[in-house]
Structure 1
Amino acid sequence: MANTTIDTPRGFSWRSLAAPFLAIGRFLVLIAEAVPHAREIERLNQLSDAELAARGLTREGEVRRIMGVAAAL
């Protein structure tokens, strides 16, 4: 019976090979999540301060609501 072994260089990690692909995936997710925020901000920009005040809203408050945690950072 024959045995086969594969020697990998010391310090080699499959994670290091996958890291660029994981980073690209995270970047694409960030872009996909940003699109709805951008649409909401654009809609907010179409409203005047008087229209916002009539609704009992402030521009800053709406940006915080739309952006969620990202606006707090």
Structure 2
Amino acid sequence: MTRDNVQLCFGQAALSSRIDRFLVERGLGFNPYALRRARLRDIIVLESQNDRELAAIGLSRDQILPYVFRDLLSD
């Protein structure tokens, strides 16, 4: 049985804080829980890749959040 519910135990608070800080810096001054939750899987998948794997798809580690939220937020 596959499980779609991803649960983080290590580093969850740090990742959550980074996502919140990113969204606040882009002008969303509220805690968009549903928005974060809907994209958390994509963030985790990208965060779990090493730098070489990220580079192969044209991303650096600091570009993960802008990439995941690119359709909603413009730089």
TM range (shorter): 0.3 to 0.5
- Report which of the two structures shows the higher radius of gyration computed on alpha carbons: 1
TM-score normalized by the length of structure 1: 0.43
Q: Which has the higher contact order (CA 8 A, sep 6+)?
A: 2
